[in-house]
């Protein structure tokens, strides 16, 4: 099977070993120095050994790989050439590190003799991603007999390092001229590769896993369970078993169950609730409130952190009483009546707060003809009502079901959702490791591709709820490439002309209006219909609640953008 070209032979051996280890997807960007790896990946796709995704922009490719990895729960390779191509992976690599997502950054490089002499497209690639992401730097293959086995050992090690505990790993390989030869026909080994990769289900990305014994949690202290981003269903189980209020963010994976407290912000600010807390158990990475870190800095509150979350422990003020891999509720409750009162007061008060802000559009059920006519008129008026942020978030949440996926951008809308949407056992994704707007469309595309391959999710839709600046920041990810797989994805854009999230921050009360608008709000007037047309996406405007409902319940088969015009400031909200 050897070709006599060291670059090609090594690339075939390496990628074949990755397939055997469990890799199913490779995202690549074109480049000369990486050509042997790219051609080997193309041949492996031809024989159905892996799935290949080609993108022009390395930043977009990195986030596409991240979306594939977080949804499929298995490491994904992103493959680039040398130079700035590698640097463009940095945002996705950092997000993967802080979110605990297994990425394999496979980059081509110049050989040792071309480094440090000003050679074209050459920089210092080993260590480029900083001290938190490990780099394995491989010298240029020479064609020696042991190299194929060395590549297989290396691939298995890199795969294991990425998946446990869930992190990005950088594999940097030098190549010398000639950079490739014809790749051999791999049909004969395809069945062997498939057999080696088959029979292994996706290995869960579980930042809370631990080989240590779980820390026992006794009943007694007034306890709340906080579920931040990526906490998972374990947080809900512990809250239920302990009989404790569950304060779960919208991207926690734990926003469901009888103990859920949706309006926890308001209650944390209420002395009748927040001031009485004695112990907090934290899962995941809380990012959407200021109330949570404020609570965790209190010296009278015992803090137990289950994690780590991504590559770091969440530990505000560095005062956690315990940093553990797992917890378990133990022993009998010495005062079950007091525990029921504690839990019930949180849950029922929260429900009352949410009900008070909910819009009640139902008839009174009397059957009176006039009442029903009035109701019909009211319903028609509602359908013609301009969309508000709360209505937009509620509408997207209501139409999303377990076979769908929901991706939330780092905009004002995710905070709206976190504040009031009810519990629902659906998969919600967001790039909350660093909470940036980078790569949201690319990440969502990866999530959609991975989720729609098989099972009940194959018929689902991936909805992406973003602000206008989040879309524009990642507009290049609308480009899928000729012949590339593009899933059912619906990008819902709340277009208020800029970054209105800053209108709700302290800076809006201190900065001069023109300066605030120019450097923070950053107004934009992009024609999203023309933008969608340029990339071949369907586009429609949903300015009223009726139009929004129709757009969400009847999405086109291909990728589409739903543009929802929003006022910068809605009625009932203070002007700055």
Q: What pLDDT, in 10s, does the model give residues 130-154?
A: 998 999 999 999 999 899 999 999 9
Distances (CA, A) of 356 to 349, 351, 352, 569: 11, 9, 6, 21
437 three-class SS? coil
Q: What is the DSSP string of 253-292?
A: S---STTB-TTHHHHHTSTTTGGG--EEEEESB--S-SHH
CB-based contact 459:402 (threshold 8 Å) = no
Q: Tell me the residue length of the chain.
A: 576
Q: Spell out the residues 6+ positions from residue 211 whose beta carbon is closer than 8 angstroms to its own.
A: 325
Looking at residue 145, its pLDDT comes to 86
User: Is residue 492 a contact partner of residue 400, using CB atoms and an 8 Å limit?
Assistant: no
Task: Supply the pLDDT for residue 338.
Answer: 96
CA neighbor of 66 nearest in space, from 57, 53, 76, 54: 76
DSSP string of 371-387, one letter each residue: HHHHHHHHHHHHHTSBP
CA 408 to chain centre: 8
**Residue-range domains of the chain with CATH:** 6-197 (3.40.50.970), 215-357 (3.40.50.1220), 388-565 (3.40.50.970)
Do 467 and 409 meet the contact criterion of CB atoms below 8 Å apart? Answer: yes
Ranges of beta strands (E only) in 149-245 are 168-174, 215-218, 223-227
**Could you give the 3-state DSSP secondary structure of residue 329?**
strand
What's the confidence (pLDDT) of residue 484? 83
The gap between the terminal CA atoms of the chain, to the nearest Å, is 70
Average pLDDT taken over every residue of the chain: 90
Phi, psi (deg, nearest 5) at residue 206: -130, 100
User: In DSSP terms, which residues pair with 489 in a beta bridge?
Assistant: 462
User: Collapsing DSSP states into helix, strand and coil, what is residue 53?
Assistant: strand
Residue 82 is encoded by which pair of tokens? 């040398």
**Closest-CA residue to 71 (of 397, 462, 374):** 462
**Confidence tier at 230 by pLDDT (50, 70, 90):** very high
Q: What is the pLDDT of residues 281-316, one digit of tens each?
A: 999 999 999 999 999 999 999 999 998 878 889 998
Mean pLDDT of 24-48: 97
Per-residue model confidence (pLDDT) at position 575: 36
Q: What is the pTM of this model?
A: 0.91
User: Which of 51-60, 211-220, 560-569 has the lowest average pLDDT?
Assistant: 211-220
- CA nearest to 29, candidates 93, 90, 107: 107
What is the SS3 assignment for 388? coil
**Residue whose C-alpha is closest to residue 408's, from 399, 417, 398, 400:** 417
Q: How many CB atoms lie under 10 A from the CB of residue 128?
A: 18
């Amino acid at each position: 099977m050897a070709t006599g070209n060291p670059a090609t032979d090594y690339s075939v051996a390496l990628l074949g070993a990755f397939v055997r280890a469990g890799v199913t997807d490779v995202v690549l960007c074109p480049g000369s120095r990486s050509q042997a790896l790219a051609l080997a990946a193309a041949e492996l796709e031809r024989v159905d050994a892996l799935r290949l995704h080609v993108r022009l922009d390395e930043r977009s490719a990195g986030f596409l790989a991240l979306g594939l990895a977080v949804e499929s729960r298995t490491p994904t390779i992103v493959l680039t050439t040398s130079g700035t191509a590698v640097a463009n992976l940095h945002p996705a690599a950092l997000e993967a590190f802080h979110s605990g997502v297994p990425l394999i950054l496979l980059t081509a490089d110049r050989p040792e003799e071309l480094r440090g002499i000003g050679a074209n497209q050459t920089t210092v690639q080993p260590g480029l991603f900083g001290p938190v992401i490990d780099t394995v730097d491989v010298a240029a293959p020479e064609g020696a007999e042991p190299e194929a086995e060395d590549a297989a050992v290396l691939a298995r090690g890199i795969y294991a390092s990425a998946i446990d505990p869930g992190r990005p790993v950088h594999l940097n390989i030098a190549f010398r001229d000639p950079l490739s030869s014809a790749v051999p026909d791999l049909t004969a080994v395809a069945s062997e590769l498939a057999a080696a990769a088959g029979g292994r289900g996706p290995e869960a990305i579980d930042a809370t896993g631990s080989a240590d014994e779980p820390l026992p949690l006794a009943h007694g202290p007034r306890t709340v369970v906080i579920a931040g981003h990526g906490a998972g269903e374990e947080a809900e189980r512990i809250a239920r078993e302990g009989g404790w209020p569950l304060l779960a963010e919208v991207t926690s994976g734990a926003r469901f169950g009888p103990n859920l407290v949706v309006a926890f912000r308001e209650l944390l600010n209420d002395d009748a609730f927040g001031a009485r807390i004695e112990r907090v158990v934290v899962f995941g990475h809380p990012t959407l409130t200021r109330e949570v870190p404020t609570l965790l800095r209190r010296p009278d509150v015992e803090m137990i952190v289950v994690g780590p979350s991504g590559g770091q422990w969440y530990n505000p003020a560095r005062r956690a009483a315990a940093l553990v891999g797992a917890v378990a509720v133990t022993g009998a409750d010495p005062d079950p009546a007091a525990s029921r009162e504690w839990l019930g007061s949180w849950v029922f008060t929260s429900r009352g707060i949410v009900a008070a802000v909910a819009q009640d559009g139902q008839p009174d059920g009397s059957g009176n003809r006039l009442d029903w006519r009035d109701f019909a008129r009211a319903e028609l008026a509602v359908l013609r009502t301009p969309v508000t942020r709360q209505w937009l978030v509620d509408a997207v949440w209501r139409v999303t079901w377990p076979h769908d996926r929901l991706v939330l951008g780092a905009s004002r809308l995710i905070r709206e959702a976190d504040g009031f949407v009810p519990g629902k056992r659906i998969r919600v994704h967001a790039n909350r490791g660093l909470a940036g707007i980078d790569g949201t469309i690319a990440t969502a595309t990866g999530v959609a591709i991975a989720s729609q391959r098989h099972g009940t999710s194959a018929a689902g839709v991936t909805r992406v709820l973003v602000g206008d600046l989040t879309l524009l920041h990642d507009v290049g990810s609308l480009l899928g490439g000729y012949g590339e797989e593009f899933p059912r994805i619906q990008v819902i854009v709340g277009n208020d002309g800029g970054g209105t999230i800053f209108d709700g921050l302290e800076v809006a009360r201190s900065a001069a209006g023109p300066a605030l608008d120019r450097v923070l709000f950053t107004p934009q007037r992009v024609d999203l219909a023309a933008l969608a047309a340029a990339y071949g996406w369907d586009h429609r405007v949903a300015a009223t609640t009726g139009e929004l409902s129709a757009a969400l319940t009847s999405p086109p088969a291909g990728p589409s953008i739903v543009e929802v015009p929003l006022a910068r400031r809605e009625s009932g909200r203070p002007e700055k």
